[in-house]
Structures are given as C-alpha cells and as structure tokens.
C-alpha cells in the first residue's frame, strides 16, 4: 500500500530552508508551508522537536514520511517526484557523482566556509574535509567547462550545492572566481530559484537580497 502523500515544508525566513523550498519549486508539486520563526526560538518548541529533534529547519513531511537535512530532503523529493530527471536513476552512470555532490555540499562546503567566515581555518588532514582553499579548488576545477555539476544536465545536486554557493557568494565568503560566479549566475536565472528566494528573503524584510 502506497504511503499517503501531502507535502508540508517547515521553513524559516533567512535560513538554509531556502534550499528545500527551491527543490520543491523545481519539482513543481503542490506543497504547504509552515513558518517556524527561528529568531523567536520556535524550532525548539516541543511540537516541532517531535518532528525534528535537532531543532533545526528545514523539515519536510509527506504524508507519514518525515525528512530533515537539506540533502536528504532533496534526495527524497527527487527520487519520489522527479526520478530520472532531477534524480539520475540507480543504473545511470551520473548517479555516483550526483550523490557525491549532495553530500559534499553540506559535509564539506558549508562547514568549511562557515569556519573560514569566522576566521577559523583548520588543517585539512585532521577534520577530514580539507582546507578552505582545497574546497574552493575542488568546486572551481569540477565546474570549469561545465554548465552544471553533471555537465549539461541540471539535477537536484545543483539545488543543494547551488543553494549553499549562492548564500556564500552573497556574503562574500567565496573568493572572486569566474567559474563559481558564472555557475551562480546560471542558478539565479532559474524561475524556481527566484520563487524560493522571494519566500526566504522577502523584499520588505531583506531589500538588498535578490
């Protein structure tokens, strides 16, 4: 018996929930949004912690399914609603690279860049995720000569990595690299990106974001 469907995204303005919102806009399925105001601490309310014990956004429910963490949400949505399009199929040679970038975006890019922004640059060997310069070099070399991470094929991995890169470039954390700048420009031209950005950084609250 198929699981009941009906998507709700628990989202907060000015947060990493942008990525999950963008993913939903890309796949084009109907969804409801429940705002969790992290500035007011609503992510620590008992009812929300019952869904996501980590007390973070985003969280997504789809019927009885509960998923948190942006890459997991993106993998779930792409496999269930865009399999073979935004998600390469299991037998597709692109599947391995697709999964790698899903993980790399949040296991390497996000933490290394955040630490760098706080003037904390750890040695690459001990933490296991390399240095900031290593990370930037990997991204630039991998995207050079490519439109998207998988070549000419846009995938959910571009949403997950792209959501992180876009925020880092806005905050001027990443260096001025023409490859990364070009990739980010292509991402921002997507209509789904703009719908998610408008919902996450509304102009009346964040007039300089766009």
- Collapsing DSSP to helix, strand or coil, 127 comes out as coil
CATH, range 8-85: 3.40.30.10
Instruction: Give residue 208's pLDDT.
Output: 47
Tell me which residue of 162, 178, 169, 71 sits closest to 117, measured CA to CA.
169
Say if 8-85 and 95-195 have the same CATH topology. Answer: no
Instruction: Give residue 128's pLDDT.
Output: 72
Instruction: Give residue 1's pLDDT.
Output: 42
Cα 75 to Cα 71: distance, rounded to the nearest angstrom? 6
Instruction: Give residue 202's pLDDT.
Output: 76
What residues does each domain of the chain span?
A: 8-85, 95-195
Burial of 183: CB neighbours in 10 Å, binned 0-12, 13-18, 19+? buried
Cα 90 to Cα 173: distance, rounded to the nearest angstrom? 35
φ, ψ dihedrals at 25, nearest 5° = -65, -35
CATH 1.20.1050.10, domain 95-195, yes or no:
yes
Instruction: Give residue 206's pLDDT.
Output: 47
The two tokens of residue 43 are 């992510």
pLDDT by residue for the chain (210 residues), tens only, comes to 445 579 999 999 989 999 999 999 999 999 999 999 999 999 999 999 999 999 999 999 999 999 999 999 999 999 999 999 999 999 999 999 999 999 999 999 999 999 999 998 877 666 777 899 999 999 999 999 999 999 999 999 999 999 999 999 989 999 999 999 999 999 999 999 999 999 997 764 544 444
The two tokens of residue 62 are 């789809």
**How many CB atoms within 10 Å of residue 123?**
8
N- to C-terminal Cα distance for the chain?
43
């Amino acid at each position: 018996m198929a699981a009941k469907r009906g998507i709700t995204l628990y989202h907060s303005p000015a947060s990493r929930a942008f990525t999950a919102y963008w993913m939903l806009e890309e796949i084009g399925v109907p969804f409801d949004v429940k705002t969790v105001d992290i500035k007011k601490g609503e992510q620590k309310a008992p009812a929300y912690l019952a869904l996501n014990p980590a007390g973070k956004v985003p969280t997504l429910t789809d019927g009885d399914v509960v998923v948190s963490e942006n890459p997991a949400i993106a993998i779930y949505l792409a496999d269930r609603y865009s399999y073979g399009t935004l998600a390469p199929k299991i037998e597709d040679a692109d599947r391995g690279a697709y999964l790698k970038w899903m993980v790399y975006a949040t296991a390497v890019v996000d933490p290394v860049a955040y630490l760098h922004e706080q003037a904390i640059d750890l040695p690459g060997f001990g933490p296991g995720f390399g240095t900031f310069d290593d990370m930037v070099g990997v991204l630039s070399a991998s995207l050079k000569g490519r439109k998207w991470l998988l070549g000419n094929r846009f995938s959910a991995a571009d949403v997950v990595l792209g959501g992180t890169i876009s925020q880092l470039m806005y905050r001027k954390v990443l260096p001025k690299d023409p490859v990364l700048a070009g990739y980010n420009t292509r991402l921002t031209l997507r209509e789904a990106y703009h719908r998610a950005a408008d919902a996450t950084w509304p102009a009346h609250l964040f007039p300089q974001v766009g």
